[in-house]
Amino acid sequence: MRDRELMSEIRRIAVRSESLEQMLESISALLTVHIGSATLFVRPFAHGYPFLPHSHPSGFNVTRFLESREFPFRALYTAPIVHQGRSRATLVGCFGSWGASGEFLQLMTAEIAAEIGKTVTGAEVDAAASQNTGQELTHDRHAA
């Protein structure tokens, strides 16, 4: 699937999803098939900046992932989730791949955050961001 087709499919998933959790789960699964590993979660703002912990109770450790050697390319991108002109939270995307473009992954993170802002209610974004771990879903084709 080409980059444009992948972005179109992400938009379709966002419109069809019944909840933020379903949206993130479906998008993570799609990305895993095409790039290798995708973890998407929503974090609250703390003093105007996204709060990014080193690890989560779910066991996903951002620092360990970024320092791992499982994938030759590992990256973390953030994008604000804006709903009705107000920044509500931050989407965090951790990606591992064998060659996906960093520029594309950054653009894709911003697009997913924009779709969340357009299709999910502000209350649902706020609720996800206020949870200790946010809505976090990890898909890794090697984990199965």
Q: What value does the mean pLDDT take over residues 48-69?
A: 62
User: How many angstroms separate the CA atoms of 25 and 34, rounded?
Assistant: 15
Q: Could you give the CA distance from residue 138 to residue 41 in angstroms, rounded to a whole number? A: 9
Question: Which pTM does this prediction carry?
Answer: 0.78
Q: What is the pLDDT of residue 10?
A: 93
Per-chain mean pLDDT for the chain: 78
Per-residue pLDDT tens over the stretch 89-135: 888 888 999 888 889 899 999 999 999 988 887 777 777 766 634 34
pLDDT on residue 11: 92
Those residues with Cβ within 8 angstroms of residue 56's Cβ, 6 or more apart along the chain or in another chain: 41, 133, 136
* Cα separation, 109 vs 104, whole angstroms: 9
Mean pLDDT of 74-80: 90
pLDDT over threshold 60, residue 45: yes
Q: Which CATH number fits domain 3-140: 3.30.450, 3.30.1490, 1.20.144, 3.40.50?
A: 3.30.450
